[in-house]
Amino acid sequence: MGRILAIDFGTIRTGLAVTDPMQIIASGLTTVETKELIQYLKAYVNSEDVEKFVVGEPKQMDNTASESEVHIQKFLEKLIKEFPNIPVVRVDERFTSKMAFQTMIDSGLKKKQRQNKALVDEISATLILQSYLASNF
């Protein structure tokens, strides 16, 4: 089995999370500047066996696509072109940023640490991946 890599895409920063090789545990990987994302993914895929990408799908409360979906679609075109043999799955990411922030509070992080947007993005990617894993077991 290969790892599943989750992507919480943002126009400036992108949070990444990954499973263990047995696809049981979701862990935060890192946050990457979006302009360097494809290069980072190429290096990661060359060093690790990635079976699938899970990409967050932001939606409005009425279930329509959010404004950021336009940017995600452009990214998905590049992702599929660069990694044609790795399937891409979309997962509803509503509330993940709020849940990530609450997770930071619950884990006792100080206010200064909670202002780290890169950490919020990485935790959001982890929540997207956990959601995917839970829905497939």
Q: Is the pLDDT of residue 47 over 80?
A: yes
The pLDDT of residue 17: 96
Q: Given the structure tokens 């989750």, which residue do they identify?
A: 6
Q: Given the structure tokens 């990954």, which residue do they identify?
A: 18
Radius of gyration, CA atoms only, the chain = 14
- Residue 95 pLDDT level (bands cut at 50, 70, 90): low
Domain residue spans in the chain?
3-135
CA distances from 80 to 41, 52, 55, 85, 88 (A): 12, 11, 12, 8, 8
CATH number 3.30.360.10 is the correct assignment for the domain at 3-135: no
The pLDDT of residue 73: 94
Query: Which 8-state DSSP code applies to residue 65?
Result: B
Q: Which two tokens stand for residue 123?
A: 């935790």
pLDDT in tens, 32-42: 999 999 999 99
Give which of 96, 119, 88 is closest to 5, Cα–Cα. 88
Give me the chain's average pLDDT, please.
86
Q: Is the pLDDT of residue 107 over 60?
A: yes
Residue type at 77 in one-letter notation: E
Phi and psi angles of residue 109, each rounded to the nearest 5 degrees, phi first: -70, 140
Count CA atoms closer than 13 A to 64's CA, side-chain side.
2
pLDDT in tens, 5-31: 999 999 999 999 999 999 999 999 999
- Residue 65 pLDDT level (bands cut at 50, 70, 90): low
Residue type at 13 in one-letter notation: R
